[in-house]
Amino acid sequence: MSGRKKIVMTKAVRERMQKDIEYGQNMQAYWNQYRRDFLILLAVLLLVMLILVIANILL
């Protein structure tokens, strides 16, 4: 009885790990596709913050 339950548990864990692996691969593909846009957005935000800091110092 307990042996069968153990097998069921390991099967559930294996399916869960497979889902996690697929999710990780999807996230990797998504990141590779949008990395350039994300970095450009980040650079623009940093530039705006820098301009605001300089404006506060000068004014």
Q: What is the domain partition of the chain in residue ranges?
A: 1-58
pLDDT higher than threshold 70 for residue 3: no
Model pLDDT, residue 42:
94
13 versus 47: the higher-pLDDT residue is 47
Model pLDDT, residue 2:
60
Measured over the CA atoms of residue 9, residue 15, residue 20 and residue 24, the dihedral's sign is positive
Model pLDDT, residue 1:
54
Give the C-alpha distances (Å, rounded to integers) separating 26 from 14, 16, 38: 18, 15, 17
CA dihedral 27, 32, 33, 35 (to 10 degrees): 110
CA distance 53 to 39: 21
